[in-house]
């Protein structure tokens, strides 16, 4: 059976999506809350996180062992059933993450701390080391587990799954997500 086809947002729909907010996919007591940098225009236009074709979040989530099959962004509502959720450091949509200011990332980290205190996930995984370094004032942070916690949750930094991040292949992204999966899976 072929995968369903979804209409591509038009240029006008993408332009209209600038600064739009995308609702979180969140529930109390998640195993892992994934934190994107901010929604892209494609995600804001469709209402689905990590929706742009070429974004490797959904394949990495599956390759890392979090989901039994690769979900389509339109299936994001299924994530809490797997103990997973998605939010963003900065809520507003933009064409590129580099359009965000350091002040927005710092403010976003503070808002994220409040969400984590409210929903109490066990792990918080920020997908983007540069956003993490700026937002949390950790200029030397590396990928993987972080020494500090956030509102009682363990912190992990993952590579940005954007197709623009050519430093990571689909396989290496899957392996990075797999390391988190191993750490976050209760024994």
Here the tokens at position 187 are 């024994």
Active site amino acids: 38, 49
Q: Which of 33-37, 125-129, 173-177, 182-186 has the lowest mean pLDDT?
A: 182-186
CB 124 within 8 A of CB 154: yes
C-alpha 183/C-alpha 170 separation (Å) is 20
Here the tokens at position 75 are 């299936």
pLDDT band at residue 107, thresholds of 50, 70 and 90? Answer: very high
- The pLDDT, as a whole number, for residue 95 is 87
C-alpha 104/C-alpha 134 separation (Å) is 10
For residue 65, what are the contacts with CB-CB under 8 A and spacing of at least 6?
177, 178, 181, 182
Q: For residue 170, which phi and psi values (nearest 5 degrees)?
A: -55, -35
pTM confidence score: 0.94
Here the tokens at position 34 are 């994934």
CB 21 within 8 A of CB 91: yes
Residue 178 has pLDDT above 60, yes or no: yes
């Amino acid at each position: 059976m072929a995968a369903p086809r979804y209409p591509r947002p038009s240029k006008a729909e993408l332009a209209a999506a600038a600064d739009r907010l995308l609702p979180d996919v969140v529930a109390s007591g998640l195993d892992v809350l994934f934190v994107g940098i901010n929604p892209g225009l494609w995600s804001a236009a469709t209402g689905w996180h990590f929706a742009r074709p070429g974004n490797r979040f959904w394949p990495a989530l599956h390759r890392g062992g979090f989901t039994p099959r690769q979900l389509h962004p339109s299936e994001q509502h299924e994530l809490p059933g797997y103990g997973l959720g998605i939010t963003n450091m900065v809520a507003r949509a933009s064409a590129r993450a580099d359009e965000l200011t350091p002040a927005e990332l710092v403010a976003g980290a503070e808002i994220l701390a409040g969400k984590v205190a409210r929903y109490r996930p066990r792990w918080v995984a920020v997908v983007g080391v540069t956003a993490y370094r700026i937002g949390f004032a950790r200029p030397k942070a590396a990928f993987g587990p972080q020494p500090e916690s956030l509102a009682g949750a363990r912190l992990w930094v993952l590579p940005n799954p954007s197709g623009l991040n050519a430093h990571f292949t689909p396989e290496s992204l899957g392996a990075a997500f797999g390391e988190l999966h191993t750490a976050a899976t209760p024994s």
